[in-house]
Structure 1
Amino acid sequence: MTDRSFSIKQVVLHRLNMQLKQPFTTSLGDVNLKDFYVVEVIDEEGYRGFGETAAFPTPWYTEETVETNRHVMETSLIPLVLYQSFTHPNQVAPLFEKVRRNNMAKAAVEGAIWDLYAKRKDMPLATAIGGAKQKVDVGVSIGIQPSINRLLHTIERRVAEGYKRVKLKIKPGWDVNVLEQVRTRFPDLPIMVDANSAYSLQDIDHLKQLDDFNLMMIEQPLAHDDFLEHAQLQAKLRTPICLDESIHTLNDVKMAVHIGSCKIINIKVSRVGGITVAKQIHDYCAAHNIQVWCGGMLEAGIGRAHSVALSTLPNFTLPGDTAASSNYWERDIIDPEVTMENGEITIPNRAGIGYEVDWKALEMYRVGKSIFK
């Protein structure tokens, strides 16, 4: 059956500021406040879809920021989709090829159109993208803590809550000694570590010590734009390397797989430019025996719902970072909030992202609004 065409008649950008429950600390700094945009698209029949930007106020993770997201959406992306006729969301990514990079801005707009499309089809977003799982395994990411005792207490609490694996942020001076104490307390806990590019190849002997801790993976130990040195490091380590910041396109994945830069890839919808490209990367990795999992960007509920839907694809075999809303927010912007039970998130069976926007909460956090029509 051919999909009926639809047109985007209006786009609304809601700018929100949400305070995290506690600072999230990585090797690159602290995040206390989430400043981002909710993208709302409305078609000629009144269906509404929602997406969410993931960039931070400063370009510490990628070159994108909240302000560049706004500028690119307003001047380039929204004009490309406004009044454009679509039959399927996979038509959006080719349209956006006119704009180089700016993947987080693209993902927010494309994600809103995917949500709208699924609602028009009266099906869950997970089903619309080809997912089949009814539940997805979930882990939790723990930032660098003020002390090892605080870290051990935090891990203990997350394990008691049921999370199936723990990701620990590391950096030089907060790595081997920390893992020795964590492993002593939690000898059988599935653990991975994330360096956010804090090391160089000159640290290879130091990094080889991480092989002693039976880790699931080491995420992005070297430079954010590197493939070659990661391949050299992976050849010296038993522990799988996972690439995150290096992966922006399907071609990046092909390069990493071809030269052996990693054994695992973290797919973030926002980092790769949207669900369409994320699906292409997922399919390529499945065909080449590369495990994937869904990373997090401290998303609020709309972005988190998109990640949950993506995680229903079959090659997402490792627990993702899509932890419960309550880990991060006093009140999320969706109803119900994303919850976890026994290390799993149950996929909602409602149309679209499966969660309703909590407009009172959104308006409480909103600091700006722009309408394009």
Structure 2
Amino acid sequence: MIIDQINLYRLKMPLKNPFETSFGRLLFKDFHVVGVHCGELTGYAESTSLPYPVYNEETTGTVSYMLKEFLIPRLFSKKEIGHPKEVDELFSPIRRNNMAKAVLEGAVWDLFSKQEGIPLSRALGGQKDEIEAGVSIGIEASIEDVLAKVEKFMADGYKKIKVKIKPGFDVELIKAIRNRFGMDVPLMADANSAYTLDDIELLKEIDQYGLMMIEQPLAHDDIIEHATLQKQLQTPICLDESIHSAEDARKAIELGSCKIINIKVGRVGGLTQAIKIHDICQQNDIPVWCGGMLEAGIGRAHNIALTSLSNFTIPGDTSESNRYWERDIIKPEVTFKEPGKLSVPASSGIGYEVDEEALREYLVEESVIKNDQVLQS
């Protein structure tokens, strides 16, 4: 494929309800959509960066800078791309900035699958026709508020309930959920790096509640102390923020730092790295699932395609569009085919049409970058 133009859209979409983690509270999603053009076809992807550098070092602003100054010129420097995996190799000399890399590479994957006339899921190697969906519940004002949401999402059919925890809002919350709904509810806790090994006795209390996992309890860049903690817990540790590449996953598995890994496309630098991590985990009997970053519809579609790979055996965070948005930026919006299950699109590319009217409604900035206007290097 020869890419002749890239459109960079910056959008600001208000959330239906505030979403709070141990990082802070979000009221809107400020992010980029990239459109990569080749002739009459366009591939789309969505950045997962946040407005502030609290999940990782990137922000909406740094993604814009990296795309315009480094990544797009580098992509245009390759006259023809035979396969999207070449983009991962092309970007490898640039350190980190994984969310910026992922959005551009993801758009190339969508474009490639459209050119091939196949669903993105099949291009990635997936075989599933449907996936199970979980839901993420942020930190609420009270335990009762969380219980009300758990009840609603269980009634909606979600196959996994994830609750955010932080010091002072943890064991009593888990206990209350188990007391109200029983031990059969597929429940996990996400700590977002809010604890240290000084909290080991508190974390060991969680073992009695039969959680599927506790996600990233310790530092965002740690795999050593997580190995120490995992030896003390019956509950599986799932790593999220610590895993930025297939090499990180390999090392964490060898150290015994976790029993599960959450794969987020933006965090690991794109779909190519996501596939590599999936494969390493499968070879080592480590199940994976696809985490969410409050994606709008385009990002949600990419997550659905990725989750069609065989080792995604745990429901991810890919909920319906109306979980977060009054109006999504794709048509049709993401909805359940039956309670708790999403169809993997069978049409080419991501399988959804970009809603241009909605995109314009949320648009705050647009850049059009043509191949012949960029200095080749």
User: 1:160-175 maps to which residues of 2 (within 5 A)?
Assistant: 160-175=155-170
Distance 1:67 1:284 in 2: 33
Q: 2:366 aligns with which of 357, 366, 369?
A: 369
State the 1:198 CA deviation. 0.3
Structure 2 residue aligned with 1:155:
150
Structure 1 residue aligned with 2:125:
130
Structure 1 residue aligned with 2:208:
212
- Say whether residues 1:71 and 2:65 are aligned partners: yes
What is the Cα-based RMSD across aligned positions, in Å?
0.7
- Say whether residues 1:349 and 2:362 are aligned partners: no
Equivalent residue letter for 2:250: K
Distance 1:245 1:191 in 2: 20
State the 1:180 CA deviation. 1.1
User: 1:313-324 maps to which residues of 2 (within 5 A)?
Assistant: 313-324=309-320
- Say whether residues 1:47 and 2:58 are aligned partners: no
Distance 1:88 1:369 in 2: 27
TM-score for both structures, normalised by structure 1: 0.98
Equivalent residue letter for 2:344: I
- Say whether residues 1:26 and 2:10 are aligned partners: no
**Residues 11 and 82, structure 1, Cα contact 8 Å, conserved in 2:** no
Q: Deviations over 1:244-298 (max 9, x none)?
A: 0000011111110011000000000010000000000000000001010000000
Distance 2:52 2:124 in 1: 32
Q: 2:264 aligns with which of 263, 268, 271?
A: 268
User: 1:219-230 maps to which residues of 2 (within 5 A)?
Assistant: 219-230=215-226
State the 1:83 CA deviation. 6.0
Equivalent residue letter for 1:132: Q
Distance 1:117 1:202 in 2: 49
Structure 2 residue aligned with 1:3:
none
Structure 2 residue aligned with 1:179:
174
- Say whether residues 1:326 and 2:326 are aligned partners: no
Distance 2:25 2:97 in 1: 23
Equivalent residue letter for 2:62: T
Question: What SS does the aligned partner of 1:290 have?
Answer: coil
Distance 1:174 1:274 in 2: 33
Using the TM superposition, name which of 146-155 and 69-78 deviates more: 146-155
Using the TM superposition, name which of 176-185 and 212-221 deviates more: 176-185
Question: What SS does the aligned partner of 2:154 have?
Answer: helix
**Residues 163 and 342, structure 1, Cα contact 8 Å, conserved in 2:** yes
Distance 2:298 2:47 in 1: 10
Distance 1:130 1:165 in 2: 25
Distance 1:26 1:145 in 2: 9
Question: What SS does the aligned partner of 2:8 have?
Answer: strand
Aligned identity (percent) is 55
TM-score for both structures, normalised by structure 2: 0.97
User: 1:196-207 maps to which residues of 2 (within 5 A)?
Assistant: 196-207=192-203
Q: 1:252 aligns with which of 248, 252, 256?
A: 248
5+ residue gaps, structure 1: 1-5
Distance 1:165 1:264 in 2: 15
Structure 2 residue aligned with 1:335:
331
Q: Deviations over 1:40-88 (max 9, x none)?
A: 0001x22100011111111000000000000000011100112631111
**Residues 10 and 82, structure 1, Cα contact 8 Å, conserved in 2:** no
**Residues 9 and 83, structure 1, Cα contact 8 Å, conserved in 2:** no
Distance 1:296 1:119 in 2: 24
Distance 1:170 1:271 in 2: 21
Distance 2:6 2:249 in 1: 32
Distance 1:27 1:194 in 2: 9
Q: Deviations over 1:100-131 (max 9, x none)?
A: 10000000000000000000011100011110
Aligned length in residues = 367
Q: Deviations over 1:308-337 (max 9, x none)?
A: 100000000000000111000000000001
Equivalent residue letter for 2:351: G
Question: What SS does the aligned partner of 1:216 have?
Answer: coil
Structure 1 residue aligned with 2:373:
none
Equivalent residue letter for 2:89: P
**Residues 194 and 221, structure 1, Cα contact 8 Å, conserved in 2:** yes
Q: 1:97 aligns with which of 92, 112, 117?
A: 92
Distance 1:116 1:70 in 2: 21
Equivalent residue letter for 2:84: P
**Residues 217 and 242, structure 1, Cα contact 8 Å, conserved in 2:** yes
Equivalent residue letter for 2:66: V
